């Protein structure tokens, strides 16, 4: 069976207590899992840390114990920040296999790869270990998820030919922001001939709640389609995308996603033009319009525009901020050679990310 392009991301599961992220509503999750499989979808994506460690056990109960192993693929992620030796990889993988109740992962990712984590993984021989795990059949595909800039990804893919899939952020709004390299990362993966797994296609829900003018423009294309659907279909329409992950928290969201992804139709040229036009207009309203030739300052400006312009509270941007700081220096350090306009931008970036 061909892989359908919608994946079930298990980071935002239905909660039995809205104030406690660790508590998963198991009955609703079981219904969602069954519905997903019944409509021909197979890709599930979890992590060691989702729902404070309970996502892995939840999917064991909702999926693994109730369905044949051949009916689904299960992705999990090695928490790179917890790994300092090969024995740590062995220990964590064994724990994750036990928690999820499977004997192998179809896709196993080094989670949240940055320049710093890459150097650590390379130094301890993690990539060689992943090759061994694949040969043993405990993982089927060697993958990474990535939260850094395109130059770092270029280095990783150039040096590690055994990486088969790269999970990256990709959505039509962030593709416009040259400071966070979303488009450049996608193009880097494609150039190296690897497949793309998309996360954050709706930008944590931001692209499901657009301003009225943009909502009306999308409704003009199709009154029946949800606003979120355009973001997911945009990501899925990119030629080298293998699967698009959607973090579905309710059965309503599940049914909506399945309705337009079961028989996926790529966007037409007209639809693409409307969506990219909206993205350009959103980005044109960014708080800081300065484009710096200094790569560190450029990234800080991009991160500030993402956090403030798109009203994103926290998340993967903090990981990139930390990596940029480690490689290029802090905003304060970069001010020593910055122009007055750049200094102002650096102060703003530091204010929102280091508050």
Q: What is the mean pLDDT of the chain?
A: 97
Confidence of residue 317 (pLDDT cuts 50, 70, 90): very high
Over residues 33-67, the pLDDT tens digits come to: 999 999 999 999 999 999 999 999 999 999 999 99
Which residue in 159, 242, 152 sits closest to 188, CA to CA?
A: 152
Q: What is the pLDDT of residue 313?
A: 78
Q: What is the pLDDT of residue 86?
A: 98
Over residues 173-232, the pLDDT tens digits come to: 999 999 999 999 999 999 999 999 999 999 999 999 999 999 999 999 999 999 999 999
Q: Which long-range contacts (CB under 8 A, 24 or more apart) does 59-65 make?
A: 59/10, 59/33, 59/100, 60/99, 60/100, 60/101, 61/26, 61/30, 62/26, 62/29, 62/30, 62/32, 62/33, 63/33, 64/100, 64/101, 64/102, 65/101
Q: What is the pLDDT of residue 1?
A: 55
On the question of pLDDT at 312 being above 90, the answer is no
Q: What is the pLDDT of residue 3?
A: 82
Q: What is the pLDDT of residue 315?
A: 86
Determine the average pLDDT of the residues in 222-251: 97
On the question of pLDDT at 249 being above 60, the answer is yes
Q: What is the pLDDT of residue 314?
A: 78
87 Cβ contact partners less than 8 Å away, ≥ 6 residues apart: none
Half-sphere exposure of 31 (CA within 13 A, CB side): 13
Determine the average pLDDT of the residues in 25-40: 98
Determine the average pLDDT of the residues in 290-307: 97
Q: What is the DSSP letter of 80?
A: G
Residue given tokens 């080298």 in the structure block = 240
3-state SS string over 286-297? CCCCCCCCCHHH
Over residues 82-112, the pLDDT tens digits come to: 999 999 999 999 999 999 999 999 999 999 9
Determine the average pLDDT of the residues in 293-303: 97
Over residues 255-285, the pLDDT tens digits come to: 999 999 999 999 999 999 999 999 999 999 9
Give the chain's domains with CATH numbers: 6-276 (3.20.20.100), 295-353 (no CATH)
Q: Is 226 helix (H, G, I), strand (E, B) or coil?
A: coil
215, two tokens: 């909502």
Question: Does the predicted TM-score (pTM) go above 0.85?
Answer: yes
Q: Is 323 helix (H, G, I), strand (E, B) or coil?
A: helix
Determine the average pLDDT of the residues in 231-251: 97
Confidence of residue 311 (pLDDT cuts 50, 70, 90): confident
């Amino acid at each position: 069976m061909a892989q359908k392009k919608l994946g079930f991301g298990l980071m935002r599961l239905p909660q039995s207590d809205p104030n406690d992220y660790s508590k998963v509503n198991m009955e609703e999750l079981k219904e969602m899992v069954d519905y997903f499989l019944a409509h021909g979808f197979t890709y599930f994506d979890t992590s060691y840390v989702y729902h404070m460690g309970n996502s892995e056990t939840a999917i064991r109960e909702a999926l693994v114990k109730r369905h044949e192993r051949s009916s689904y693929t299960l992705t999990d992620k090695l928490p790179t920040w917890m790994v300092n030796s090969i024995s740590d990889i062995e220990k964590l993988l064994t724990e994750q296999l036990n928690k999820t109740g499977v004997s192998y992962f179809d896709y196993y990712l080094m989670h949240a790869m940055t320049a710093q984590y890459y150097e650590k993984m390379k130094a301890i021989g993690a990539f060689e270990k992943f090759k061994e795990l694949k040969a043993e059949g405990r993982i089927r595909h060697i993958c990474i998820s990535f939260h850094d800039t395109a130059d770092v990804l270029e280095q990783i893919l150039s040096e590690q030919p055994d990486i088969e899939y790269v999970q990256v952020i990709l959505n039509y709004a962030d593709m416009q922001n040259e400071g966070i390299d979303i488009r450049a990362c996608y193009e880097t993966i494609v150039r190296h001939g690897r497949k793309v797994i998309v996360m954050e296609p709706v930008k944590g829900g931001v692209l499901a709640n657009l301003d009225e003018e943009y909502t009306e423009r999308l409704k003009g294309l199709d009154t029946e389609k949800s606003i979120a659907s355009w973001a997911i279909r945009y990501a899925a329409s990119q030629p080298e995308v293998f699967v698009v992950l959607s973090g579905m928290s309710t059965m309503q969201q599940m049914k909506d996603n399945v309705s337009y992804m079961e028989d996926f139709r790529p966007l037409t040229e007209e639809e693409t033009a409307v969506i990219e036009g909206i993205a350009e207009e959103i980005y044109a309203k960014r708080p800081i319009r300065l484009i710096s030739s200094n790569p560190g300052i450029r990234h800080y400006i991009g991160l500030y525009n993402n956090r403030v312009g798109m009203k994103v509270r926290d998340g993967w941007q903090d990981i990139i901020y930390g990596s940029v700081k480690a490689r290029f220096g802090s905003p304060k350090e970069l001010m020593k050679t910055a122009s007055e306009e750049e200094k102002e931008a650096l102060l703003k970036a530091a204010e929102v990310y280091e508050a």
